[in-house]
Every structure is written in C-alpha cells, then in structure tokens.
Chain A
C-alpha cells in the first residue's frame, strides 16, 4: 500500500506552472500561428496578405512538383526504414548474445554516434562518398570504377541509415533484454533448428520493438533536414528542404507553412501509432 492521496499532494500542480508557461509561449503559440499562416493568401509582391484560402493545400495535392517531393520523401523514408530493420535487428540480436565486456563496448560504439552533431556525421559521409573518397578508391580497386555518389538518393539514404540505425537498435535491444534466454533454449531442446528458433520464438517476441523502432526511424527520416540539405544538393529536394526554400529563398511563407503543417500531422500520426504499439504490448504483458 503506497496510497498518498492526501490533499497536500494536490497542491503539487503549481510546480508545473513555469514549464507550462514556457510550452504555451514557445510551442503552442508558434505552432498555432503557423497553422493560421498556412491558410493565409499569398501575393508574390507583398507576401502573406491575410484572408483565408485553401489554395496552398490544393496546390500541394495537385501540383506535380510538390507531389514528386512528397513521394520522394516517402520513398527515401521507407527505404531507410527497411535498411535499418535489415541491419539493426540482426545487429541487436548479435549484440545481445555477446559476452559481457564486448556487449557493452559494441553497444556503445553503435549508439554513441547519436551524440555527435548530425552536421559532422553528414560531412563525414560527404568525404567518404566523394569522387576522390575512400569508397570510390575501394570501388576502383575491385574494378567497379569511379561512381558519382554525392547528390544522389543513395548518398542521402546511406547517411540517413547511419544516423537512424541507433533508433532501430535501441527498441529491439530493449525487447531482447526482456526476453528469457531459456525460452530460445527450450525451442532448441525440442529439436528446432537455430533459424526456426529465431523465426518462431525470438522474432514474435521482439516484433513490437521492431515496429516501434521502424516507426521512429520513418518519422525522423521523413522529416530530416540537414542530410538531404548537405548530401542531396539543390535538385534532390525532400519535404524539409522544400519548407526551408519556401521560407528563406522563395519567401512564400504560407506555402511553406502548409507543407510544414502536413509534415507535422503526418509525423504525429506515425509517432502516436508507435506509442500505441508500445502501450498495447505493455498492457498485454501485464496480463
């Protein structure tokens, strides 16, 4: 029994006031302003002119230029997610089977790049994939020949996978930690092959981890800015870099706002689904 429902703990609510104030001013207000801006009329000479129009949203769904950008973003996001699953899940599984000191050493090597600025990591990739870079040197050595990789979807996806992989490994690793290793041994003792044991016993148990990791990766990849900005060049635009251009180059703020609103809503849907997945699994486990 740890019930402390006394009137005194009710008064604790005021402790959240400073944060609430900050979030109201710095989060809710600007987001509402942007939502309103996305319905403003726009005039190339005078900028946002107030009024109410759905024309920006209409343009996004009808104009092939924007559709292509959204489709490209979707495609890059999906491929990144798929690659993160294909690399991250086996890696987490291998890590979880390592002996004591190596396990945490390699886990840290895989996860710590999270803490290094994304600009630095992207810059590293632009050097690795450059026309005179080590990857091209390797390609030449094995006879593929020099390949232009910068400013291609391949470069963007490579860097995205690098940045997102930790977000895939973390939930799968967590799910694997909760797994009873004897369950897999039990499957083996019944004569299941190693592969069958993984597919029939391990995989179903870590599925929620894979699912939530995949959703996080997709959400982050689809809204990524610095990587397509630096590795995609001017032609290979994604949603985030388009918003940047609308705001800072085209100066069509209402259009930029409309794209940003769509990005935000899509992202919230993906992330809340992820939350649901985890929540449901949690409730089921509690019985």
Chain B
C-alpha cells in the first residue's frame, strides 16, 4: 500500500479541467516534485491534497485513510506557503508553537519542540522576533519550522523558494533537502523551476494542461524526456535529422556536443554568437543541420570569436530519440 495515493483526481471549474485524472503513488520518506509551467494544475493538485480546494472527482488516500473530503484543519499536514503566510502579529516562536497549541501539546513539551525545530533551521537566536524583522530567507525557514514541528505525515511545499533571490534559492535548495532527510517526512513540492526540482527530488512529476505527462527520477526526466515539450521545458536541446529516412528525430543536449577544429568533426559549423555564463560558454552556431546550441566548460582557454569555422562532433551513444507520438 502506498503512503499517499492520488487516484484519478480531478478538479473542474465549469468546462475548464484544471486537474484532469491525476494518479500518483508516493512512498514513505520520498521527496516528490510537481513540475510544470504555470496553469498546469500543479498548485490545484497540491491544494486538493491540503484540503483548500474540493476535488471534483477521484480519491486522495493518506496511509490508507480516505481524506478526499476531510476538512483542511483535520488533515494534520505541514504546509509551506509560497508567501510563507507567517502570522504577522506573532513572534517566531509563537508562529512555530501555533500548530502544537492546536494539538493541545502541553506547555513544556511545546517549548522543547519549538526550540528543537528552530535549531534545525538555524533560527534559535531569533525566537523572539516578529516576521517583519526577518529577511526573506529567514521567513522561509520559520515557515518550514512551523510546518515540520507538528510532525506531519506529509509536508507540502508550494513554490517555497520562488520569493528568494537566485543565490539564496540555491543555498536553500540544499538546506531543504538536508532537513527533509533529517526528519524523514514524505514531501511534495510544487515548482516551475526544473533546477529546483532536479536538485532536491527523488522523483519528478511533470504536469501539462492538468495532466501528468511523466513520472521519473530527475536524471531520467532530463536524459529521457517523454516528449519534446518536456525536453524543452527541462533544458535546451538540439534536433538532429533522423538516422534513416522516416526514422525518429534525434535530440542531443548542448553540453554533450563537442567543438572540434574545422573539418575534424561530423558536421561543419560557424560560430554566430557567444555568451559568457561564468563557468561555461554558450555558443550559437549555424550548420547544415540547422541552428545549434553548444555549451562548453570554461576551462581557461580562450573562447572562439564569432565567425570562427568549427566542426561539431558527438558520441552516438548520447543521441536520444523521443517515444512515438510524444509531443
């Protein structure tokens, strides 16, 4: 029996199918990401699990118990909201203690667990502050502490890092994963950022137009996307002509193409433009195969200026074909 099971879950607003026939099994301790562009139904799915949106059809089972229509305040889930939704009139400690108070945990035990949770997110020194006195990253961690202190069977994260700046977001990705592994709570995260989904999840659920289009490990989603849409959503890609007439189109990721001196590769190409990304160079090239994108590690050697004639080369083993009918 799976820990959490979504069974043909749907949410319709009139004729609009916000979520359509979504089925998913989650094992205990897993970290799952719902990944997709805005409007794909990932947030609605999360809100149905949380109990803020009533499902039109289908079932939600948690530890074998049907919670499809249970009130939100009886589910006992830990939720981290996109806006953090901290109680502005309560201190950090009171925010974290709120859920325990609702569970009628006695005072001494409550204090102990609040302290523990704040230590886990490195905020023990800020217990007496108010949310407005904290930075974005600190607020995010209060929200996390508040959600995990009640020891929920399931942790729901709604775009938890989207309000942070790029640097902090990366740091928090790893912290989130570390904390989740320490407490071992089964977690579902909603995100539109593939890097975020890849770096922390055990499995990624890709959604598009209210439906699930792929469920796989991050590596598989990147290397073997189920459709061209997914392939482009999770990274850049180059199209190569079919190996045989009428055969499937082949794809190759830009970092897997190699630049060789002109005439020494499989196809000639000319550098059109180059972009410096710090650790990498990104080249736009023109070739008989069409426009190509290549990413090369910045190894300290000088970059190719635009106009340089080069050759493209690749290892056949890294070419991917998309499944039939994958769109």
Contact = CB atoms under 8 A, between A and B. Distances in A.
Co-assembled chains A and B = yes
Interface of A: 1, 3-8
Contacts of B54: 5-7
A5 B54 CA distance: 8
The interface residues of chain A, by DSSP majority, are classed as loop
Contact of B44 (A1, A4, A6, A8): A1
Nearest 6 Cβ contacts at the A-B interface: A1-B43, A6-B54, A3-B53, A1-B44, A1-B47, A4-B52
18 contacts: A1-B43, A1-B44, A1-B47, A1-B53, A3-B13, A3-B44, A3-B47, A3-B52, A3-B53, A4-B52, A4-B53, A5-B53, A5-B54, A6-B52, A6-B53, A6-B54, A7-B54, A8-B71
A230 to B, nearest CB: 47
B223 to A, nearest CB: 32
B41 to A, nearest CB: 10
Contacts of A4: 52-53
Contacts of A8: 71
B282 to A, nearest CB: 35
A4 B13 CA distance: 12
Contacts of B71: 8
A7 B44 CA distance: 17
Interface in B36-60: 43-44, 47, 52-54
A26 B236 CA distance: 68
Interface in B151-200: none
Given A4-B53, A5-B54, 11 more contacts: A1-B43, A1-B44, A1-B47, A1-B53, A3-B44, A3-B47, A3-B53, A5-B53, A6-B52, A7-B54, A8-B71
Contacts of A5: 53-54
Contacts of A7: 54
Nearest to A4: B52
Nearest to B51: A6
Nearest to A7: B54
B185 to A, nearest CB: 23
A276 B311 CA distance: 67
Nearest to B43: A1
B178 to A, nearest CB: 29
Contacts of B43: 1
A240 B71 CA distance: 56
A3 B13 CA distance: 10
A13 B55 CA distance: 23
Contacts of B44: 1, 3
Contacts of B47: 1, 3
Nearest to B54: A6
A4 B44 CA distance: 11
A8 B52 CA distance: 11
Nearest to A5: B54
B6 to A, nearest CB: 17
Contacts of A3: 13, 44, 47, 52-53
B191 to A, nearest CB: 14
A5 B55 CA distance: 11
A4 B43 CA distance: 13
A5 B43 CA distance: 15
A1 B13 CA distance: 13
With most chain B CB atoms within 10 A of its CB, the pick from A1, A3, A5, A8 is A1
Nearest to A6: B54
B313 to A, nearest CB: 47
A6 B53 CA distance: 7
A1 B47 CA distance: 9
With most chain A CB atoms within 10 A of its CB, the pick from B13, B43, B54 is B54
A104 B13 CA distance: 46
Contacts of A6: 52-54
Contacts of A1: 43-44, 47, 53
A4 B54 CA distance: 8
B159 to A, nearest CB: 11
A88 B43 CA distance: 48
A6 B52 CA distance: 8
A8 to B, nearest CB: 8
Interface in B95-146: none
Nearest to B13: A3
A111 B53 CA distance: 45
B283 to A, nearest CB: 39
Contacts of B52: 3-4, 6
A1 B210 CA distance: 14
Interface in B1-56: 13, 43-44, 47, 52-54
A11 to B, nearest CB: 13
A82 B250 CA distance: 75
A152 B13 CA distance: 64
Nearest to B71: A8
Interface string B64-84: 000000010000000000000
Nearest to A1: B43
Nearest to B158: A1
